[in-house]
Amino acid sequence: MLEVTCLSAWYGEAQVLTDVSLAVHEGEVATLVGRNGAGKTTLLRCVMGLHRSLEGQLRLDERDLDRLSPNARARAGIGWVPDDRGIYASLTVEENLTLPPVVSADRAWPVEQIYEAFPALADRRASMGTQLSGGEQQMLAMARVLRMGSSLLLLDEPSEGLAPVIVQRIGEIIRQITDHGVGVLLVEQNVTFAATVADRHYLLAQGRVVEQLDNAQFQAREHELLEHLGI
């Protein structure tokens, strides 16, 4: 679904990514795991077209993304859930869901299906964005890209700052999303959470992919990775 080949990126003269290659397949969760400053969020921004100082190749379903704007990439099926969630504070839950355009009628989740999957949002459908808890905002940000019909979901630190019970629910939702064939590229510093939701893991250090692990290998080395990440 997503192919990243020999991606390098810069902020001015500072190189933050070096020859990164990875792939995300249909219905799969792949994580980017690494310390703060390793380049994880920059990689997501490159895929979304929000960071343009780069070299390398980005392809979605064998389609070259290099010349597409962020808007065009969203319409091609890439859904972006940033770490600040990007909720429209002055709109209700339902308005947040229905305002963005549907990019694929075949893949888009109807609003009622979303409310069935996210009961907390159904209860708050008339609430303004400012009235939602952090967990509810995270669910709404994820639900919004499903409503659009995105085929690839870019998730940046969805567990950050949330209570364990909400983190567990976010994990359940991620697995439910992949059951519908959506691919997920997940940036996550919570190694334990990553091990519960992902199929494969890319360990990023100083802007490079230093290891690729399947989930069994990742779980077997969880304590080592916790020490490596300084968590």
pLDDT in tens, the chain (231 residues): 999 999 999 999 999 999 999 999 999 999 999 888 889 999 999 999 999 899 999 999 999 998 899 999 999 999 999 988 889 989 999 999 999 899 988 889 999 999 998 899 999 999 998 899 988 998 899 899 899 999 999 999 988 888 888 888 889 889 988 988 899 999 988 888 888 999 999 999 899 999 999 999 988 888 887 776 754
Number of domains forming the structure of the chain: 1
68 CB burial (10 A radius; 0-12, 13-18, 19+)? middle
> SS3 sequence, 168-192?
HHHHHHHHHHHHCCCEEEEECCCHH
Q: Token pair of 207, please?
A: 């802007």
Contact 77, 102 (CB under 8 A): no
Domain limits for position 99: 2-229
228 CB burial (10 A radius; 0-12, 13-18, 19+)? middle
For 69, other C-beta atoms within 10 Å of its C-beta total 11
Q: What is the CATH number of the domain that holds 131?
A: 3.40.50.300
Cα–Cα dist 208/12, whole Å: 18
For 61, other C-beta atoms within 10 Å of its C-beta total 13
| pTM of this prediction exceeds 0.85 | yes
Cα–Cα dist 39/225, whole Å: 17
CA atoms 171, 176, 179, 181: torsion sign: negative
